Amino acid sequence: MLRRFVIGGAAAVALVVAVIAIIALRPPEQASAPIQAIPLAPTVAATEAPAAATEAPAAATEAPAAATEAPAAATEAPAAATEAPAAATSMLFEIVPAESEARFLIDEVLRGAPVTVAGTTDQVAGQIAVDPSNPASTRLGVIQINARTLATDNEFRNRAIKNVILRTNEFEFVTFTPTAITGLPENVSVGQPITFQITGELTVTDVTRPVTFDVTVTPVSESELEGLASTTILYRDFGLTIPDSPAVDTVADEVRLELAFVARPVSS
């Protein structure tokens, strides 16, 4: 009886292992399409324009009383007009996927030897609005990474990452939604790197957590930016689990995330 129980239990374990192996090693779905940047949202000032327009009828009822002031108001028009170009100095840049790379790095001990596993992809996109005359007003749009295109140096590991860890068939993209940029300087010069921090919400699978990236950006020219953003997270904070492997002795808790990017102005 005991022997039957042991044999039955071993068979059940073998069946579970086989099912997990099938799931982990099945071919994952390919990227649905080449990645495209999510357009950067308009500024708050722009969104307030309609509200101001709704006040026009009320102002119109006061026209007779204000009519005597029209010549004075007219003399101020040229001054207001000279301020328009200032709002137009902002340039919209976009990350160039072919010249950029998003990557994760995690340390593990493989068959007794320490190694650093790196997963990389060039399928990363995002937009940056920069006003050279006022760098502190820089805005960053949502950054997207297509997790289905991440690749390491091992195809079996790739399938495990996509099928089991990141579940990319269900969650194709990893996203970072910025909420604040701190440490930007008052002035920027071509060729001079600047360092600052970007805080935002990082979403991996269906879990979102606040994360802060350390960023270094160099204006290579007036029409090109190069940068590196990096941070460290705990993969368990995002509800991720790494399946056991006979070849892997230990896996570190921390994962380093990096984005090396080139950005150029958006073509009109």
53, 38: one domain: no
54, 178: one domain: no
Of the pLDDT bands very low, low, confident and very high (cuts 50, 70, 90), residue 124 is: very high
* C-alpha count within 13 angstroms, C-beta hemisphere, residue 229: 22
pLDDT digits (tens, 9 = 90+) for 221-250: 999 999 999 999 999 999 999 998 898 999
Query: Is the pLDDT confidence value at 174 over 70?
Result: yes
- Count H helices and E strands in the chain, helices first: 8, 13
Task: State which residues form the domain around 73.
Answer: 49-81
Query: Is the pLDDT confidence value at 23 over 60?
Result: no
Greater pLDDT, 73 or 130:
130
Query: Is the pLDDT confidence value at 33 over 50?
Result: yes
Query: Is the pLDDT confidence value at 144 over 90?
Result: yes
- Alpha carbons 264 and 268: distance in angstroms, whole number: 12
Of the pLDDT bands very low, low, confident and very high (cuts 50, 70, 90), residue 4 is: low
Q: What is the pLDDT of residue 159?
A: 96
Q: 174 and 162 in contact (C-beta within 8 Å)?
A: no
Q: 130 and 140 in contact (C-beta within 8 Å)?
A: no
Query: Is the pLDDT confidence value at 26 over 80?
Result: no
CATH assignment of the domain containing 103: 2.40.128.110
- Tokens coding 180: 């604040």
Number of domains composing the chain: 2
241, 175: one domain: yes
DSSP letter string over 169-199? TT--EEEEEEEEEE---S---TT--EEEEEE
34, 61, 81 - which closes a domain: 81
Q: pTM for this structure? A: 0.76
Q: 177 and 200 in contact (C-beta within 8 Å)?
A: yes
34, 56: one domain: no
132, 260: one domain: yes
Q: What is the pLDDT of residue 204?
A: 98
Q: What dihedral angle (degrees, nearest 10) is formed by the CA atoms of 245, 250, 252, 255?
A: -20
Q: What is the DSSP letter of 206?
A: T
66, 167: one domain: no
Of the pLDDT bands very low, low, confident and very high (cuts 50, 70, 90), residue 186 is: very high
72, 123: one domain: no
Query: Is the pLDDT confidence value at 169 over 70?
Result: yes
- Any alpha helices (H) in the chain, and if so which ranges? 2-25, 44-47, 49-53, 56-60, 63-66, 70-81, 84-87, 155-160
Q: What is the DSSP letter of 28?
A: P
125, 204: one domain: yes
